[in-house]
Amino acid sequence: MKRLTCLLAALLCSSATIYAADDFIALDRAGATRVVNAASHTKPTIVALWSSECIHCKKNLKLFADMARVHPQLKLITIAVEPMEEGLAEPLDRLGVSGSRFAYGAEAPEALAHALDPKWRGELPRTILFDGRGGKVAFSGIITETIARASLALSAD
């Protein structure tokens, strides 16, 4: 019985550790390829690549969070292009960004970047927009709501 109690305690501690890591999923090349596969997005989706040091990334993330609140069908996925560490979620939480959260895993950052977008050269922010019907477009820099809506095939409400 003592052994079972210790095992249960260990499992609970590991769960707490996962939660304490801000619920990010470590991204590997296979996962990155899946995230940016247009066929897997059957509704409008934003994949926002960002860094905690990037001021312009936060401007895009705020816009995307606001759009997701207005358009419940819009899926928002964020990818921190840095390793998972404590506090990484703070900028997302402050901006009200919901959705799946990824951070670079143990593989080489260059390999992960290439898996996400072979045309991307590392500039931030980087946004990949899926219209939910097989269309996919990528932008670097600050994106406007007009461009995002058009690329996502969202109506202006």
- List per-block mean pLDDT (blocks of 10 residues) for the chain, which spans 157 residues: 40 34 88 97 98 97 98 97 95 97 97 97 97 97 97 85
Flag whether 107 is in a domain.
yes
Partners of residue 129 on adjacent β-strands: 46, 137
Flag whether 57 is in a domain.
yes
Flag whether 72 is in a domain.
yes
Q: What b-and-e string marks burial along 25-62, b requiring 16 or more CB atoms within 10 Å of the CB?
A: bebbeebbeebbeeeebeebbbbbbbbbebebbbebbe
HSE-up of residue 91 (Cα within 13 Å, Cβ side) = 19
Flag whether 6 is in a domain.
no
Flag whether 112 is in a domain.
yes
CB atoms within 10 A of CB 2: 6
Flag whether 10 is in a domain.
no
Which pLDDT belongs to residue 108? 97
Which pLDDT belongs to residue 123? 97
Flag whether 131 is in a domain.
yes
Contact indicator for 20, 86 with CB cutoff of 8 Å: yes
Q: How far is CA 98 from the centre of its chain?
A: 9
Tell me the torsion sign for CA atoms 138, 45, 67, 54: negative
Q: What's at 60, amino acid-wise?
A: N
CATH number at residue 27: 3.40.30.10
Contact indicator for 12, 77 with CB cutoff of 8 Å: no
Which pLDDT belongs to residue 22? 59
Which pLDDT belongs to residue 90? 96
Which pLDDT belongs to residue 14? 35
Tokens representing residue 60 in the block: 């895009």
Range of the domain at 45: 23-152
Flag whether 1 is in a domain.
no
Q: What's at 50, amino acid-wise?
A: W
Q: How many domains is the chain built from? A: 1
